[in-house]
Chain A
Amino acid sequence: MKPKFVVGGLAIALALGYMIWAGVSQSVVYFVTPTELTAGPVAGKAYRLGGLVERGSLTWEPRTLDLSFKVSDGKVAVPVRHHGAPPDLFGEGRGAVVEGQWMPAGYFKATLIMAKHSEEYKAPHDTKEAQSKGLIKTLEGATR
């Protein structure tokens, strides 16, 4: 193999490595629970916050499209605000994953609310373990 092809190949590999590195550092999203988020929120960093929508915390104002609720992991509840109608599968007492940023004013500003559709039905369990497993699943698998 001629040296110029080796050099060309190396250049492509380096460029690709750089693009991947830059892409990751710009679009990385951190999965956090409410406890983890409140332990040290960084304003402006992209988070995916997962938990249960606390009962009695949901308000929805159709005229202004303001949606607010609290996401809880049983220990801490984080206030979340969103602009837009609540999506299907969203409701009090259910798991939700919200993507967005922590605002210095003391709330989580959601740009996206997600719920994952499982292809097969799973009967809801009451055991704590099953719930947290379901939560982690939603947290990490949800994309829309």
Chain B
Amino acid sequence: MIPEIGHGALLVALGLALYGGVMSAVGGRRGRPALVESAQHAALGVFVLVTACLLLLIYAFLTFDFSVRYVATNTNLGTPFYYRITAVWGALEGSIVLWSWLLSLYTLIVILRHRTSARELYPWVLMTMLSVIGFFLLVMTVAAPVFARSLPIPPDGRGLNPLLEDSGMITHPVALYLGFTGFTVPFAFAVAALITGRVGDFWITTTRRWTIVAWYFLSLGLLIGGWWSYHVLGWGGYWAWDPVENAAFMPWLTGTALLHSVMIQERRRMLRLWNLALVILTFSLTLFGTFLTRSGVIASVHAFSQGAIGIFFLTFLALVVLSALALLAWRWNDLGAQGELDSIVSRESAFLLNNVLLVAATFTVFFGTVFPLLSEAVKGAKVSVGAPFFNQVNIPLFLSLIFLMGIGPLIAWRRASLDNLKRNFLWPVVIGSVAAIVLRLVGVGSSVAVLSLALTVFVTATITVDLVRATRARRAMGEWTLPALGGLLLRHNRRYGGFVVHLAVLVVAVGVTGSQAWSVQTETTLKRGEEAALAGYRVRFDGLRESQESNHGKVTGSFTVVAGRGAGTVLEPAKKFYPQEQSPIAYVDYRLGFVDDVYLVLGDFARDGSSATVKMQVNRMVSWIWIGGLVLTLGTLLAILPERRRPA
């Protein structure tokens, strides 16, 4: 009965979303607040119903309701409690439920925050949000019905993909989807601005925090995804330029561009058209990403047989892009710039270049991801470009972006004088150059690593110069150093929040550079008691043991890792044998460090436990990437604090 209730609730929610969308449009067009209010009630109803569906689905998972096909394919009687909840979004149908729920939650917050503050735009914002929810509800009821029954009822389910039994599965999809769905809000405001013709700065200032929040969650989702890949997949990496990763990375790149370009519009009244286009592009890329990863179009070129969902997303994407372009064309005459670029050496052009590079990076990632499709369509040859392509093209772009990260926040608006340049950049340039020379002298061989680290030092120096100068200015007014610094951060929280986020990006950049340049690995077969050495670590194989867990069997290898003369750490990489899988799954064990991670993967082993093949990696600086995520959180919190006005 419960699945039917769930399905029915989704159908009613679909009806309400469509009704609300139409009502808010009519209400907005005719200026009838009563209709908009009715649409608002419909939106609340959608939220309640989708919440109910999510709860019903969780209930179905917790009670092992295998009559629901989705439950039966993604859980079994042995699945532990927590993973029965995360299994809810472990596959396609459920992840769309989560997506819709987050979207309806955002809609609720938009209603609470903006129903009076953005009176003119509000009906159209509501219409757009409800239309997007309506689309997802359509997918949930028609293309991928989550509550579909499986008859006859199987006695046990198949079980969750073992790779998804991980704590990362609690946070990674939620963060990622909060990011994806979050960009719907600025998109909705952009659409409303175009429809009402109020294409000025109002929609930009209203959605600033929304964009930051969406961007933050998307960043966090990407980082947690990297962490999941690193500690679950057993290849020792965190990023592989896989289509699934690229799908999430593209809206991140355009979202980053957007965060910067809106500042130009606020300050100089330029880039109106560009900002609208960026919002539309970012939102479209979130849909495109879902299409790419969920339709199987990249995994198999001979696609659409896999299910109707691809065609649904493609149609909706086309609809979104075409109507957005039509709106842009309609308002074309209102979108001209009111300001002009004065000089290449100015903050505007630094930001503009940042945008050009980010969009260029988006294009290369897009190109590389769809390249197999293009090439098959054009030449008929099945080809692909792998990680080397993405690295080769993107490294110069990312290094330039790091350089701009140092320039942009400090250089003068309009036209920077030589004096301004000297005042802001003389010391950072000197410090950065010294860093480059020192890195060369201590034997860093890779030019890319030297350049990347030296640029990081340069940018850190620019931030330090700015902070020191501003703190001094306040001290000159009689404040102590620490209160002066604290007051500075809080009073100009937007600027300094941005700086902290920049620092986070630098910390991540150091982690990526270090791990690419200095990680080492080897693979070897050891007899019991035998040792192998790698990069100053000795690893001894102590034996194997077998065990039976709630839903799988496990063979654990025991290894003692010794660094120098110190005491050993025991690492226990394993192989897990799930009955529903045809072959074992590696379970990685590692010791994380500030500089070195020791990372072991159990390969093959002799049945009697006399020998085992082990892949040993010493991965450098990887922890910096996760630390970067923490710094990012602090910076974002600082940036979205309500701005304080200077007391008069």
Contact = CB atoms under 8 A, between A and B. Distances in A.
Contact of B341 (A5, A16, A30, A137): A5
A57 to B, nearest CB: 17
B210 to A, nearest CB: 30
Interface in B372-407: 372, 381-390, 392-393, 396
Contacts of A120: 73-74, 91-92, 161
A140 B604 contact: no
A12 interface: yes
Nearest to B612: A62
A48 B586 CA distance: 24
B233 A144 contact: yes
9 contacts: A12-B360, A26-B388, A27-B387, A27-B389, A28-B383, A65-B523, A89-B583, A117-B163, A120-B74
Nearest to A9: B356
A29 B233 CA distance: 23
A126 interface: no
A91 B613 contact: no
Nearest to B361: A16
A143 B296 CA distance: 14
A143 B245 CA distance: 12
Contact of B344 (A8, A136, A139): A8
A80 to B, nearest CB: 17
Interface in A81-102: 84-86, 88-91, 94
A9 B161 CA distance: 47
Interface string A96-123: 0000000000000000000011011100
Interface string A60-76: 10110100000000000
Contacts of A116: 299
B364 interface: yes
B302 interface: yes
Contacts of B583: 88-91
A30 B379 CA distance: 12
Contacts of A141: 243, 298-300
Interface in B321-361: 341, 344, 356-357, 360
Interface string A22-35: 11101111111000
B525 A31 contact: no
A22 B296 CA distance: 28
A2 B346 CA distance: 15
A19 to B, nearest CB: 5
Nearest to A143: B242
A4 interface: yes
Contact of A29 (B92, B242, B383): B383
Given A4-B344, A19-B396, A136 B384 contact: no
Contact of B384 (A28, A84, A119): A28
B341 A2 contact: yes
Contacts of A143: 240-242, 386
B537 interface: no
Interface in B63-95: 73-74, 90-92
Contact of B364 (A20, A27, A119): A20
B59 interface: no
A133 interface: yes
Contact of A30 (B90, B356, B381): B381
A121 B580 contact: yes
B163 A140 contact: no
B553 interface: no
A22 B387 CA distance: 14
Contact of A26 (B164, B368, B392, B524): B392
A121 B301 contact: no
Given A22-B392, A88-B583, A119 B382 contact: no
B135 interface: no
A8 to B, nearest CB: 7
Nearest to B298: A141
Contacts of A5: 341, 344
Given A23-B385, A141-B243, A144-B242, 5 more contacts: A8-B344, A86-B604, A120-B92, A137-B300, A144-B240
Contacts of B233: 144
Contacts of B7: none
A41 B265 CA distance: 56
B606 interface: yes
B382 A140 contact: yes
A19 B385 contact: no
Contacts, number: 135
B172 interface: no
A30 B388 contact: no
A86 B583 CA distance: 12
B525 A63 contact: yes
A85 B523 contact: yes
A27 B392 contact: yes
B73 A121 contact: yes
Interface string B603-618: 1101000010101000
A120 to B, nearest CB: 6
A1 B352 CA distance: 13
B371 interface: yes
Interface string B110-135: 00000000000000000000000000
A5 to B, nearest CB: 6
Nearest to B360: A16
Contacts of B360: 12, 16
A28 B525 contact: no
Given A5-B341, A62-B525, A136 B302 contact: yes
A62 B604 contact: yes
A144 B235 contact: yes
B392 A136 contact: no
A-B complex: 10 closest residue pairs judged by Cβ atoms: A85-B603, A141-B299, A31-B382, A27-B388, A62-B525, A27-B389, A85-B613, A23-B389, A23-B393, A23-B392
B301 A24 contact: no
B582 A27 contact: no
Contact of A133 (B302, B344, B385, B523): B302
A62 B158 CA distance: 34
B298 A16 contact: no
A118 B371 CA distance: 22
A136 B389 CA distance: 22
Contacts of B91: 119-120
B480 interface: no
Contacts of A117: 161, 163
B26 interface: no
A91 B158 CA distance: 22
Nearest to A117: B163
Contacts of B240: 143-144
Given A62-B604, A62-B611, A144-B240, A24 B371 contact: yes
B427 interface: no
Contacts of B383: 28-31
Contacts of A136: 300-302
A29 B387 CA distance: 11
Contact of B299 (A20, A30, A140): A140
A12 B356 contact: yes
B529 to A, nearest CB: 16
Contacts of A27: 385-389, 392
B15 interface: no
